[in-house]
Amino acid sequence: MGNRIAPPVAITFMHILETGFMSSLEFAPVLYLRYIDDIVGVWTHGIDRLNHFFNCINAYNRSISFTMESTFSTGQLPFLDTLITVYPTGEYTTELYFKPMAAPIILHFTSAHPMSTKKAVLNSQIKRAMRVSSDDRTRDRSVKRVKLLFEQNGYPTAMLDTSIKNNLRKRSERKTRRNKENEIFMRLPYLDENVVRRVNGVLRRSKTNIKVAWISGPTIGNKLISSAFSKPPCPAGTKHCHTCESGLKGKCTKKNIVYKITCSLCERNGRTEFYIGESTRPVRYRFNEHLSDARLRKPDTPLGEHIADSHFNASSTEINSAFTIDIIGWGRDSAELKITESIKIRDLRPTLNMMKSSWPLARKP
């Protein structure tokens, strides 16, 4: 449980097991559906043969033990998030199902997320309740369960009623959104609702098909959990890695970062000269490019012009150790990196950046 490799292993195991078992059956289910290791089926051969089927599949492989629920006693059967009710006439209905032990927790209304995200979570759950329901009565019960869940998590009743009403209307109209196939989505970091309104207002006035997906900041889980079993090693191996030797030992393969490069030669003379940049590539590649610019005194580059202006007589060996580098920010994509870099430039005011202004959107009041 909780391991990323567990679902593929379970799916593979179940496929091998059921392929071998089903081929040897005299009586088989009329319908047999499985999601990972949860199975639902329709059996029409009587209760005795169902019990025999159940005993045989449990004895087929000692590594797994099945449990079974049926509609014979209660007329109801939960499967994943759906409750199936079978009537004596043979008809059946479906509606939303919550497990009794499931905690009534969802994104809280007071959490630091964009309002659009909270509305999207609410709408998705209402749509889910409507989609799994087979008729109006089951739909009303399903929606009522979702409404109670969100009320317990601080959502205003008026907001819930409006969302339910809108989803009912859209469901009855069954209209697709205009120009949906031509929409372009852009992901931006969430700052506050004022920024959201201003950006959305600009996009509406521009009459473009650009839609913004607002992304919240890193969570505690992001900070504490890594999917990698171990950090990737430095590609330089036993050779010199300028990035590792300049302050990022063991981190030279990091990418999607905002970095700060400080001139150590200037620090020795009591001055602070530094540059802020961003890179979607491993940081060692970008840092090596900066060092190359500095050694060549390359014009129109921040470190190249700095060496040419302030340390023209420095040798290549001195330049290779003349700068320290730190990671000061992260981003999920280029847009978020550009904004993070802009904010860092605004706040820290680097002396070696050629572009020292930030986006007006991020300006402090």
In a domain, 340, yes or no: yes
Identify the CA nearest to 130 among candidates 115, 147, 118: 147
Q: What's residue 291's pLDDT?
A: 94
Q: What's residue 229's pLDDT?
A: 59
| Residue 276 bridge partners (DSSP) | 260
Count how many residues are written for the chain. 365
Q: What's residue 363's pLDDT?
A: 43
Inter-residue contact 7 to 1 (CB < 8 Å): no
Label residue 228 by pLDDT band (50, 70, 90): low
pLDDT tens digit string along 6-53? 888 888 988 988 888 888 788 888 888 898 888 898 888 888 898 888
Residues 126 and 153 grouped into a single domain: yes
pLDDT tens digit string along 343-359? 899 899 999 987 655 55
With residue 277 as reference, give the H or E element that holds it: strand 274-279
| Region 206-220 average pLDDT | 77
Identify the CA nearest to 94 among candidates 142, 126, 127: 142
- Enter the pTM of the model: 0.51
The residue type of 29 is: P
Q: Which residue has the higher pLDDT, 297 or 188?
A: 297
- Specify the 3-state DSSP secondary structure of 93: strand
Q: 325: domain range?
A: 242-362
* The last residue of a domain, from among 68, 87, 119: 68
In a domain, 19, yes or no: yes
pLDDT tens digit string along 255-304? 999 999 999 999 998 999 999 999 999 999 999 999 999 999 999 999 99
* The last residue of a domain, from among 16, 48, 68: 68
Q: What's residue 223's pLDDT?
A: 66
* The last residue of a domain, from among 68, 103, 122: 68
Label residue 361 by pLDDT band (50, 70, 90): very low
Residues 252 and 355 grouped into a single domain: yes
| Region 127-138 average pLDDT | 91
Q: What is the mean pLDDT of the chain?
A: 85
Inter-residue contact 306 to 240 (CB < 8 Å): no
| Region 135-153 average pLDDT | 93
Q: Which residues, at least 6 apart from 262, have a Cβ–Cβ distance to it below 8 Å?
A: 272, 273, 274, 323, 324, 325, 326
Inter-residue contact 276 to 345 (CB < 8 Å): yes
Ranges 107-116, 143-152, 198-207: which has the least confidence:
198-207
Q: Which residues, at least 6 apart from 339, have a Cβ–Cβ distance to it below 8 Å?
A: 188, 189, 331, 359, 362
Q: What's residue 365's pLDDT?
A: 43
Q: Per the structure, how many domains does the chain have?
A: 4
State residue 15 phi and psi, 5-degree precision: -65, -45
pLDDT exceeds 90 at position 153: yes
Residues 108 and 54 grouped into a single domain: no
pLDDT tens digit string along 176-187? 454 455 667 777
| Rg of the chain on CA atoms, in Å | 30
Residues 246 and 358 grouped into a single domain: yes
State residue 265 phi and psi, 5-degree precision: -65, -40
| Residue 85 bridge partners (DSSP) | 76, 93
Burial profile 162-188: b = 16 or more Cβ within 10 angstroms, e = fewer = ebbeebeeeeeeeeeeeeeeeeeeeeb
In a domain, 234, yes or no: no
State residue 212 phi and psi, 5-degree precision: -105, 130
**With pLDDT > 90 as the criterion, what percentage of the chain qualifies?**
38
Pairing mode, strands 82-86 and 92-96: antiparallel
